[in-house]
Structure formats: C-alpha cells, structure tokens
C-alpha cells in the first residue's frame, strides 16, 4: 500500500467498543430493488455483498418504520415483525464479508408517493406540500399519531437487533419526516411539536430517545445508534446552517455513536445562517462537535486522493462512499493492495452485471445524467 493512504486503513473504535477495520463506510443509497412483498430480494443481497468486503461499515438503504412511511418503490420493509427474517438475510450478507451492518430507519412523510401509502394519504408535520413539482398536500399528524410513529422507530430498532445488525442510523436528512419536523418550511405547528427552534427539535430528539431506549432494553451486545442530517434547505423559510449547528449541539450530548452528514459535495460551503461563509460545512460541523461525537463525512469522494485530502484538511475520522462504490465496488481493496492506479471513477455502461447493480437501480442511474460520473 502507498504510505499516503495508510490513514484510510487505520482501525476505528466507537465509544461503545464496536471496532471497524478501516475508516471507510458505504453510504446509504436507495436501490429500488426489493421484492413486491417488501422483503429483501436476492439481487439486493448480491449487491450488498459485492460492496461489503472492503469497507469497515455498510449503512443500508432506508427501511420504513410504519406503513404510511414508505418512500420508494422497491423499498424493503421493516415495520412489522414478519420482516425480521428478511432483514436478517441482509445483515448476514453484509457481515459475511467482514463489514459492520447498520440499518437505516426512516419515515418518508410528505415525500412519500401517494400510491405507496394506505388510502393515498401522505402525512407530515403540517399541511405544507413538498417543494417537489406536483406534490400532494399532506395531512398534519395528530399528537397520538406522532407518538405512534416515534414508537415505531423503537420497534424497528428492536427488529434490527433481532436481525443481527450492528446498529441503526436514524434518517433525519434529505427532506423526510424527521427533517420535516425540524424544518420551518414544513413545520408551522404551534403545539409542543413546532413553533420555536427548540420545539421543532422535539420530534427528532424524541425519536433518538425512543431508539436508544429500545437498544438499552433489547440489546445484549454493543449496538450503535447514528443520526444522519442535511445541513441546510434551499427553501425560504428553511433550515439554515445556524439551525443545524443548534441541533448538533443538542445531539452531541445524546450519547449517539456517530453523526452522519448528508452532502453531495464534501467541500460545499454554507448557503446562509452563519457569519463565516468561507469555511466548509464540514469544517464548521467538526469544529463544533468533532471532539464530542464521531462524524462521518461524505460527498463526491471518487479518487483515493480525494479521501486523503478530506482527512488531511479536516481531521474527519470516517468517510462514506456512495456513488463511487456503484462505479467501483473494489475501490477499497485496490487501494489496500497498492493498485490505486486501477481505481475506476466513471461508470462503465457495459459492466452492469460485473458491478452487480440490480436492474431497477441501473435504470434510475441511467435516467439521471450527471448523478453518477460517466452517465
């Protein structure tokens, strides 16, 4: 191995004692490829196994915690006990290749396609439609419904424990329900679940508490709880960098095992909300909470030199690879074996079978020019 890449392969230990063999993580990516009944498909198992032999940890695509939270066609389910055996197949496929397996859990809220949820009724913090074109007006959740969904996050965490996962990641990013409650765009409530910045934090924090309660009561082994967040929203009003730093200050005191940023570009700078607009979002985040809780950075890390630069310039302890592992599932192994010159950074349109990418995911990749380099 080239000496400059050694830092990527240092082991890492979380505060609860869970060890990773290196500092590289597979980022969660929706793959649209589950069976119609909500179970994990053989194609998905092969897809994950193909990408689990190099990284230290794999974070799965999100699974929905309640029936009205399904956000994608071909999304595997986790909202009932009958899906636990299916989830176990997934954790076994990942762990069988030596990586830790983390199940991402979420509720899609107003971003759910109506045809995927009961009676076509989408729900959210308030009746504000998504900014996505043609979005349906959601039904505001009642207090008892909010508490049911919070409990559902705990129940799905129990299933993850029973299925042999090493942890769960609470999906508080990308505009889904947890972010909707935190967002001044989506949440115009005036009760205990909205209004002030502190009240907009109430739902995300209640989910964290419920998940951690489930871990304390159900797990007999170290089991990780992470939280993913998007630093800002484009809408006005919307989440600002200042809002996110306030949330992170609170989350950093919740004994989480890690925080995971959702970014398209690791080096992106704040849109608004802070005086310092020259430093990157990652730098501001790491300065605030980096000494309290491990942070996973992500975003357009394609070449091995990109990863080294990110670690050298920010001291981020963990890096997630998303699109790059679609392009080259052997990225990690090539660097470890001193074959970094063989790393592929643009998708080869003739290699779907070799890359073990299921047909539904391949079709999505090919339909979005520029999302994956080479398309």
- Domains assigned to the chain: 3-367 (3.20.20.70)
CA distances to 170, 200, 227, 249, 315 from 284, rounded to whole Å, are 22, 22, 17, 12, 12
Other Cβ atoms less than 10 A from the Cβ of 9: the count is 15
Confidence of residue 77 (pLDDT cuts 50, 70, 90): very high
Average pLDDT of 338-360?
97
- Write down the catalytic residue from 47, 48, 176, 258: 176
Rounded Cα distance between 325 and 314, Å, is: 22
pLDDT for 134 equals 82
pTM of the model: 0.98
Question: What does the pLDDT look like over 56-72, one tens digit per residue?
Answer: 999 999 999 999 999 99
Is the pLDDT reported for residue 169 higher than 90? Answer: yes
Rounded Cα distance between 30 and 364, Å, is: 10
Average pLDDT of 233-237?
94
CA distances to 77, 90, 91, 182 from 167, rounded to whole Å, are 17, 13, 10, 24
Active site residue 227: no
Question: What does the pLDDT look like over 171-204, one tens digit per residue?
Answer: 999 999 999 999 999 999 999 999 999 999 999 9
Question: What does the pLDDT look like over 93-133, one tens digit per residue?
Answer: 999 999 999 999 999 999 999 999 999 999 999 999 999 87
Question: Tokens for 15?
Answer: 């505060």
């Amino acid at each position: 191995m080239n000496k400059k890449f050694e830092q990527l392969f240092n082991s890492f230990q979380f505060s609860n004692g869970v060890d990773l063999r290196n500092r590289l993580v597979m980022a969660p990516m929706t793959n649209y490829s589950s069976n119609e009944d909500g179970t994990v498909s053989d194609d998905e198992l092969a897809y994950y196994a193909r990408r689990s032999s190099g990284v230290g940890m794999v974070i799965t695509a999100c699974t929905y915690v309640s029936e009205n939270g399904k956000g994608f066609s071909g999304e595997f389910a986790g909202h009932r006990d009958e899906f636990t055996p299916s989830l176990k197949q997934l954790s076994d496929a990942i762990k069988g290749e030596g990586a830790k397996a983390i199940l991402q859990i979420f509720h899609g809220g107003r971003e759910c396609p109506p045809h995927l949820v009961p009676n076509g009724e989408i729900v959210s913090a308030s009746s504000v439609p998504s900014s996505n074109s043609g979005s349906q007006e959601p039904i505001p959740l009642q207090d008892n419904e909010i508490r049911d969904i919070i409990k559902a996050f705990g129940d799905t965490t129990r299933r993850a424990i029973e299925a042999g996962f090493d942890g769960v990641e609470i999906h508080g990013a990308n505009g889904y329900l947890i972010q909707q409650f935190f967002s001044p765009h989506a949440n115009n409530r005036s009760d205990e679940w909205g209004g002030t910045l502190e009240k907009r934090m109430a739902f995300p924090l209640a989910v964290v508490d419920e998940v951690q309660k489930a871990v304390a009561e159900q797990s007999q082994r170290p089991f990780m709880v992470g939280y993913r967040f998007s630093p800002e929203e484009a809408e006005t009003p919307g989440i600002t960098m200042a809002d996110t730093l306030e949330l992170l200050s609170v989350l950093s005191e919740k004994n989480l095992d890690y925080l995971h940023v959702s970014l398209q570009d690791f080096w992106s700078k704040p849109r608004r909300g802070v005086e310092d607009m020259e430093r990157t979002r990652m730098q501001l985040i790491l300065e605030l909470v980096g000494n309290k809780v491990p942070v996973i950075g992500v975003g357009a890390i394609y070449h091995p030199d990109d990863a080294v630069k990110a670690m050298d310039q920010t001291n981020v302890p963990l890096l997630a690879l998303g699109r790059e592992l679609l392009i080259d599932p052997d990225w990690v192994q090539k660097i470890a074996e001193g074959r970094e010159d063989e790393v592929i950074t643009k998708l080869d349109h003739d290699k779907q079978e070799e890359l073990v990418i299921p047909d539904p995911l391949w079709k999505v990749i090919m339909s979005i020019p520029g999302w994956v380099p080479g398309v």
